[in-house]
Amino acid sequence: MSSFQKPNLVIRGFKIFKETLNIDEQNELIADLREIIKKAPLFSPVVHSGNKMSVRMTSAGKYGWHSDRNGYRYIECQKNGNNWPEIPNSIVSIWKKLISTDRNPDCCLINYYSEGAKMGLHQDKDEADFKWPVLSISLGDDALFRIGNNDKGGKTESIWLNSGDIVVMGDNARLKYHGVDRIRFGTSKLLKNSGRINLTLRVVD
């Protein structure tokens, strides 16, 4: 694993660690994610309007992130009543190296982007304490990541994130709008059927 001492790039406070996870580490994460998805299958969330998101998602940890016509929130168990799977050590260890050895994340949100999937500009603001950063891990196909401002509108900046990249959104970047405009489907061989997986680790309570 490459050094976590200093990000390769900082854009509007977003700390970007390029090519941080080697291929063996990425494959270990994918193997652990397969076990999570067996226990908590991917689903397509519904937004306020009743439309479905183009990404599919699931979660691991104390809480799972959920969206429906009633809004966005964290929930303590799956819709079938089962607890969310535990966050694997392979993922928690990255949090400990970059964020904290004293406080583990409460939620690992897992987003899968198939061909044509995207994520509109949004803020991560469903957590109780914004002093804790959100840590994002990219696996699989390249994604065009857009970074905005603390309020809607204004100029934005974009960067291509590749498999093994890590982004830390903390301090003045914690509530900035961000999203994924598109992926370059088939640019990575990490996933058998291509696509991109994005993991975001959050402290919820």
| Domains of the chain as residue ranges with CATH | 9-202 (2.60.120.590)
C-beta separation of 166 from 17 below 8 A: yes
Provide the residue count of the chain. 205
Largest CA distance in the chain: 44
Instruction: Give the Cα separation of 147 and 21 in Å (integer).
Output: 22
Of 88, 91, 58, give the one whose Cα is nearest residue 75: 58
Residue 197, both tokens: 């997986």
Instruction: Give the Cα separation of 168 and 124 in Å (integer).
Output: 13
What's the pLDDT score for residue 161? 98
CB crowding 125-148: b at 16 or more within 10 Å, else e? ebbeeeebbbbbbbbbbbbebbbb
Residue 162, both tokens: 């590749």
What's the pLDDT score for residue 71? 86
SS3 141: coil
- Listed as ranges, residues in the chain with pLDDT below 70 are 1-5
Strand partners, 134: 169
Instruction: Give the Cα separation of 149 and 99 in Å (integer).
Output: 23
Instruction: Give the Cα separation of 146 and 157 in Å (integer).
Output: 6
What's the pLDDT score for residue 150? 96
pTM: 0.95
What's the pLDDT score for residue 70? 84
C-beta separation of 57 from 68 below 8 A: no
Q: Are strands 134-140 and 196-202 parallel, antiparallel or unpaired?
A: antiparallel
Instruction: Give the Cα separation of 130 and 128 in Å (integer).
Output: 7
Instruction: Give the Cα separation of 104 and 35 in Å (integer).
Output: 20
Residue 190, both tokens: 């990490």
Instruction: Give the Cα separation of 163 and 142 in Å (integer).
Output: 7
